Structure 1
Amino acid sequence: MITDMTQGNPTKTIIKFAFPFLVGNLFQQLYNIVDSVVVGRFIGTDALAAVGSSFMIMNFFSFVIIGLCMGSSAVYSFFFGKKDYVSLRKSVFISFFSIGIFTIVLSILIILNTNNMLLLIKTPQSILEGSQDYLEIIFGGLIFVFLFNACSALIRSVGDSKTPLYFLILSAAINIVLDLVFVVEFNMNVEGVAIATVIAQAVSSILCFIYAFIKIPLIRLHREDMVFDREISTMVAKYSILTSLQQSIMTFGMVCVQGIVNTFGPDTIAAFTAAGKIDSIAYLPVQDFGNAFSTYIAQNKGAKNNERIHEGVKSAARTIIVFCLVLSTLIFINSENLMRIFVKANESNVINLGVEYLTIISVFYMLIGFLFMFYGYFRGIGALNISLVLTVISLGTRVLMAYVLSSIPTLGQRGIWWSVPLGWALADSVGLIIYKRLK
């Protein structure tokens, strides 16, 4: 169902649009979590560490592609809000063709260099082979990551956030079943988990592609749409490249952090992997709210409704405050029980390290909530360079402080945990100052 976000109550409009977005991404995170649970429970701590060590590299390159798709989505939303449907279809052709070719080339280059990348982030020798096997299979299916995110971004840009949800639910179900079949029944190692993920992604991406271009006449391409219009190509390139750069900087920072974590050994890697999964699920709602907010801003920018844009900012801030207060309380209280979902009860050191991480980070979820709001706002108005600056500040601070604080003997890995809210706080301060000046 297409939604015009230039009308109606801003709070209800954004939340209604964001909810299917959230549920869909929860299912997407679900099969990432199931991978970790199955590996940790049925294979062991070293295998969990292998998947965890690989995860940051996988995320880095996946988010390069996802960022390109997200940037294109802002262009689609702009033309949809402007009701310029010819330019909308031309932008779809340009982005799908160019990002698709880029994805194929990138996946080949990554597969040829997985071992070097793992050595670069100081992956322990005991888990190196498992990490490499996992990554080579995952990146063999990178084209499906592109196809799904390109199609779902297109569908969401015209206000339909429900349809991609259905395909993600199907994908999560397939992934869970195949995880259990390949690992528990067939006794496969981490490669079984990777194969299950690729198959699940392939099914959801193909179905989403079929739906987007057959069921929505508004975005169905005609021969005259398949041209490289210079102005539209420049606009797509600007939004896509800057958003991808923002996303890749975020994940590159996490790869750097993973390299620091790896120096503390398999127990810390396993704890960081499990706690990181919980953490990503915890603040996923505000991340999705920020993405929905970006669509709201872009559509209203296309409609030249500045008053409604700033009304939406106030609404978003109130929503984030309420939600994050509840979320922080729940994670803080239940951190140990959540860690036990991923790790066997006798792995007390891993559990304690994970609890330590969660109790520190969870207190500051409101900071990441506001940061996602600023990302959505600046991306929506076309000021992607500002989103990029905020990302550099947040991740740069986190990496720098992680190196500095973790080198203090009395802090150790706790220094890595404390670096996270420090990065969020500094980026939020800069974002608020810039927002007030632009307003």
Structure 2
Amino acid sequence: MSALQGPHDLTRGAIAPTLLRFAVPTLLANVLQSLNGTINAIWVGRFLGEGALAATSNANLVMFLMFSLGFGFGMATTILVGQAMGAGDIVAARRALGTTMGLFAIVSVAVALLGWAVSPALLRLLATPDAAQPLALAYLRVIFLALPPMFLGVLLSMGLRGTGDALTPLLLIVLNVLIDAGLNPLLIRGIGPFPRMGIAGSATATLVANYVVLLVGLVYIYARDLPIRLRGREWRFLLPDWALLRVIFVKGLPMGLQMLVFTLSALVMIGLVNRAGVAVTAAYGVAQNLWAYVQMPAMAIGAGVSAMAAQNIGAGRWDRIGPITRVGVIANLVMTGVLILALLLFDRPVLALFLGGDSPAIGIARHIQFIASWSFLPFGVTLVLFSTVRANGAVYAPLLILCVSVFAGRIGFAAALLPRYGIDILWWSFPLGSTISLVLAALYYRFGNWRTPGMIAGLVHPGEEAAEQAKAATEPGGRINPTS
């Protein structure tokens, strides 16, 4: 029986309303995060110029590569928390999140200090332009100091989503955006009592926002007595549990590598696009900006499907797994399809916001959108299928499928045929790669062995910490029906 009651219990009730109640706040959080980055880029570009904007882009690439692996471990923790809550074992959920938080607190501080020292070498490795290196260094070093609250804040949000709570992470994102976007111009320009810090001011705004949000999040969790809080003897869950860490590493690393595959494919693709000239590169860059928003419904629905599936697997409700997946697929097709259709119908005024009404790149961007935008429909369905199988710990097949579809289906196809058929081959490689991944994902979902016992098996430690188990049974949102 689930350890949750009310709106955070994803193991009972109508599936479609429950999924949407989870996915919509997650979607809004994703949109706000992207808008925050866009707003900060506008502040930097307007106040400090193109060189500073190029510097932040190079520094942010370093941080994205690091977060790719962190994201995978966070997803593994989310699944563990979800399965534990579904199984009615709130102590196992706290142990899973506590172990990850304790480890990442140490690792993130070590990486922050190391990153500060090696930032010049990292920027040289990325071939950052000489003119942008001093600005990028000033920005990157402060961002490294913001790494601990960033990592821990992400883990807290993912842990909350594992318990079925998507609203609290949204509220924390709203607070983050308000502080970060609000402080950026004040610290860049030195407005009022604030010091004039230039590009370091933009990074400092991010640092302050993340530390404040982490503190507020912890206060809120304890004030509301949310299920993931630790008290008393539970504080020792912050010490490494090596059995849990092994599972989190084994399951989290492949999910983090999937993010790196996307990053690598994007770098290769932009290298091929750059050969076609400035206008095509500009058009493709704008298309990528718009595609970031087109993907958001699928990502939010995938997060909801993963959380729902994990709780239901933990509760033994396999009868709900198929319907959850079907509802997720339908919701993705409707939401993503409407967004793509609107983008294609109103593409000219939207593109003009980026390129100007008379830019020759607008026609190229419209052509790219018409060919490639539809690829996000099969991409979204694939993401939903992957979210379901990952909820039971199946992470290697999705990684293999992604590698095949990206490196063979997309990059291999584009690189092989580009010299003969021209630049359009690059745009057609997107629907081809997405179709290949959908076919392989559907075959694995239908015939694969992902339904075998899940990640939580052997991690509840029957009979251990009986005092905590009994205590949790009497707490709000605590354990109701201990697993055997």
Q: TM-score, normalised by structure 2?
A: 0.79
AA aligned to 1:211 is: Y
User: Is 1:390 equivalent to 2:401 in the alignment?
Assistant: yes
1:308 aligns with one of 320, 335, 346: 320
Matched residue, 2:474: none
- Contact 1:171–1:204 (8 Å) recurs in 2: yes
Change beyond 3 A, Cα 1:315–1:386: same
Q: In structure 1, how many angstroms separate the alpha carbons of the residues matched to 2:279 and 2:134?
A: 18
Structure 1 residue 56: deviation in Å? 3.5
Change beyond 3 A, Cα 1:254–1:211: farther
Structure 1 residue 407: deviation in Å? 6.0
Change beyond 3 A, Cα 1:146–1:234: same
Q: In structure 1, how many angstroms separate the alpha carbons of the residues matched to 2:274 and 2:187?
A: 28
Please show how residues 173-322 of structure 1 align to structure 2 within 5 Å. Answer: 173-183=178-188, 190-225=199-234, 226-227=236-237, 228-257=240-269, 273-322=285-334
Matched residue, 1:12: 17
AA aligned to 1:75 is: L
Change beyond 3 A, Cα 1:352–1:297: same
- Contact 1:405–1:416 (8 Å) recurs in 2: no
Larger-gyration structure (1/2): 2
Structure 1 residue 158: deviation in Å? 1.1
Choose 382-391 or 158-167, whichever is displaced more. 382-391
Matched residue, 2:153: 148
Q: In structure 2, how many angstroms separate the alpha carbons of the residues matched to 1:259 and 1:200?
A: 35
The answer for unaligned runs of 5 or more in structure 1 is none
User: Is 1:381 equivalent to 2:428 in the alignment?
Assistant: no
Q: Tell me, what secondary structure is at the counterpart of 1:7?
A: coil
The percent identity for this pair of structures is: 24
Q: In structure 1, how many angstroms separate the alpha carbons of the residues matched to 2:420 and 2:135?
A: 31
- Contact 2:86–2:315 (8 Å) recurs in 1: yes
Structure 1 residue 90: deviation in Å? 1.5
1:431 aligns with one of 428, 432, 441: 441
Q: Tell me, what secondary structure is at the counterpart of 1:165?
A: helix
- Contact 1:37–1:341 (8 Å) recurs in 2: no
Change beyond 3 A, Cα 1:217–1:58: closer
Q: In structure 1, how many angstroms separate the alpha carbons of the residues matched to 2:201 and 2:276?
A: 27
Choose 261-270 or 12-21, whichever is displaced more. 261-270
Please show how residues 22-421 of structure 1 align to structure 2 within 5 Å. Answer: 22-125=27-130, 127-183=132-188, 190-225=199-234, 226-227=236-237, 228-257=240-269, 273-342=285-354, 348=359, 354-397=365-408, 400-401=411-412, 404=415, 408=419, 411-412=422-423, 416-421=426-431
Change beyond 3 A, Cα 1:146–1:321: same
- Contact 1:56–1:258 (8 Å) recurs in 2: no
Q: Deviations over 1:381-407 (max 9, x none)?
A: 211112222332344347734871696
Instruction: State the superposition RMSD in angstroms.
Output: 3.2
AA aligned to 1:367 is: P
Q: Tell me, what secondary structure is at the counterpart of 1:232?
A: helix
Q: Tell me, what secondary structure is at the counterpart of 1:218?
A: coil
Choose 14-23 or 327-336, whichever is displaced more. 327-336
Q: In structure 2, how many angstroms separate the alpha carbons of the residues matched to 1:52 and 1:356?
A: 27
Structure 1 residue 143: deviation in Å? 1.3
Structure 1 residue 160: deviation in Å? 1.1
Change beyond 3 A, Cα 1:129–1:146: same
Q: Tell me, what secondary structure is at the counterpart of 1:373?
A: helix
- Contact 2:418–2:426 (8 Å) recurs in 1: no
Q: Tell me, what secondary structure is at the counterpart of 2:227?
A: helix
Q: Deviations over 1:76-119 (max 9, x none)?
A: 00000000122122112211111222223333444444455445
Structure 1 residue 127: deviation in Å? 4.4
Q: Tell me, what secondary structure is at the counterpart of 1:381?
A: coil
Q: In structure 2, how many angstroms separate the alpha carbons of the residues matched to 1:318 and 1:236?
A: 31
- Contact 1:278–1:338 (8 Å) recurs in 2: no
- Contact 1:71–1:242 (8 Å) recurs in 2: no
Change beyond 3 A, Cα 1:396–1:124: farther
Q: Deviations over 1:247-290 (max 9, x none)?
A: 33333443444555667788776655544332212211211110
